[in-house]
Amino acid sequence: MYTFIENIKKDEYENFVLNHKIKSHFMQSYYFGEISKSKGFIPHYVGMKKDDKLVACALLLQKKLFKKTSYFYSPRGFVLDFNDEELLTEFTKYVKNYTKKFNSFFTAIDPDIKLQNLDIDGNIIEGENNFKLVETLKKIGYKHLGFNKNFENREPRYTFRLSLEPDIDKIHKNMHATTRKILNKGNQYNLNAYIGDEKDLKDFYFTMKETAIREEITPFPFEYYKKFYNVFNKNNMSDLYVVKVNIDNLINIYNKKIDDINNDIKNAHNLINKNKSKNLLNDYNNQLEKLKKELDIIKKIEEKELVLSSIITVKYGDKVWTVHGGNSNKLRELNANYLLYDLIICDAKKEGFKLIDFFGTTGNDSDNNKIHGIHLFKKRLGGEYTEFIGEFHLITNKFMYFIYTKIVPLYRKLMKKIKN
């Protein structure tokens, strides 16, 4: 006999979600519900018991709309065994009835459940898949929004996930040759990579804004990131990673590199093998020209210290997510983001986590894709290219759902066109 539970207490709710062997995700945590209030959502913590034992939980985020209507969203939810069709069906019924009390016309879910196995380039690998689950969800009343490739829906349908089970040398070995080459050079520019605190959030937001402009995306307001970090960090569930560079120090490093190249040029002139000497001179002169151009740019930087890259991570259960992050437009040739991600990976491995989720990429690996650069960077870290089953809507009022999903977008598009 199943019993639906409303307003589950924090400790009971967190104990279930945090320790669920199949479906634990920080976006279903009690804390993420509290954070979502700053986006205008109302969190509802619900669950279902069988024989007085919790067998399902869900964070349902309510968004109030016009004329007392609303919709609900369960980010990366629900938390239950999706392979148990009876359990899934019963919980769906309870959720449907519960949300109707708030004049909700649909509930959205986008479970982080893998659809099928892919190789690093996105080619399908034969084996187990979850197409049957997609059909099961449709059978019990959900509308599937399809197998989208980009960020058309609430959360990305693709990501890269890196297993931390191998030793760190094997993890590095599995990375792309370009990544290994960069990391093998070590911290040659004496960058300062560290775990920061609340006072570093302004530097973090600087990189977020620069990345948002560059990638044509809209960042959240500063206060959202501040709340996101503080809520998770005070519960030892989040870190803020930062990489900075001292400009005067960097100028000295570049001058030293230029001196070394000039010495190499002198030595190349003394080689008996003239063909080898000519080839080396061409190579050294190209390096010298590149270094001088970069140095000229560095000397024009007004800041004494410049933040290059920063990331807010979330640690939940046995996983780490690199959730929010950005890179400065300046000095990208220093590859600060590679240094930062390697530090995150090494720290997560030391702390005993089993997996890192790099939190979203595209299913369209095309040079023309505006986030191709981000995709390529994450791909080179050596994780598994992961495709989720997608977003589903449980519709409770077909007319209002049609208005909201068809008519309202057309109206907004028309108003934008008139305004432009």
In angstroms, rounded to a whole number, what is the distance separating the alpha carbons of residues 303 and 5? 55
Residue 159 lies in a domain: no
Residue with tokens 């960069």: 182
In angstroms, rounded to a whole number, what is the distance separating the alpha carbons of residues 355 and 144? 28
Q: Rounded to 5 degrees, what are φ and ψ at 220?
A: -75, 160
Residue 78 lies in a domain: yes
* Predicted confidence (pLDDT) per residue in 180-211, tens digit: 999 999 999 999 999 999 999 999 999 999 99
In angstroms, rounded to a whole number, what is the distance separating the alpha carbons of residues 71 and 218? 23
Instruction: Provide the domain count of the chain.
Output: 2
Q: What is the CATH number of the domain that holds 8?
A: 3.40.630.30
In angstroms, rounded to a whole number, what is the distance separating the alpha carbons of residues 17 and 31? 11
Residue 120 lies in a domain: no
Q: In the predicted model, what is the mean pLDDT of residues 91-107?
A: 98
pLDDT of 274 > 80? The answer is no
pLDDT of 389 > 70? The answer is yes
Residue 57 lies in a domain: yes
Comparing CA positions, the residue from 32, 136, 44, 34 lying closest to residue 81 is 136
In angstroms, rounded to a whole number, what is the distance separating the alpha carbons of residues 62 and 43? 6
Which one of 266, 299, 332 terminates a domain? 299
Q: What pLDDT is attached to residue 419?
A: 67
Which one of 233, 268, 299 terminates a domain? 299
Q: What pLDDT is attached to residue 420?
A: 64
Q: Could you tell me the pLDDT band of residue 271, with boundaries at 50, 70 and 90?
A: low
Q: Listing from the earlier edge strand, what are the strands of the sheet with 42-50? A: 2-5, 42-50, 53-64, 70-74, 104-109, 392-395, 142-144
Could you tell me if 313 and 241 are in contact, meaning their C-beta atoms sit under 8 angstroms apart? Answer: yes
Indicate the pTM of the whole model: 0.93
In angstroms, rounded to a whole number, what is the distance separating the alpha carbons of residues 375 and 369? 9
Give the range of the structural domain holding residue 21, as residue numbers without chain letter: 2-111+390-419
Q: Could you tell me the pLDDT band of residue 132, with boundaries at 50, 70 and 90?
A: very high
- How far the first Cα of the chain sits from its last, in Å, is 58
6 and 106: one domain? yes
* Beta-strand pair 114-118/124-125: antiparallel
Q: What pLDDT is attached to residue 305?
A: 97
pLDDT of 411 > 90? The answer is no
Q: What pLDDT is attached to residue 217?
A: 83
What's the whole-number average pLDDT of the chain?
A: 94
Residues with Cβ < 8 Å from 225, sequence gap 6 or more? 201, 204, 205, 208, 312, 324
Which one of 238, 264, 299 terminates a domain? 299
Q: Could you tell me the pLDDT band of residue 342, with boundaries at 50, 70 and 90?
A: very high
Residue 398 lies in a domain: yes
In angstroms, rounded to a whole number, what is the distance separating the alpha carbons of residues 287 and 262? 10
pLDDT of 272 > 60? The answer is no
Residue 354 lies in a domain: no
Residue 320 lies in a domain: no
Residue 369 lies in a domain: no
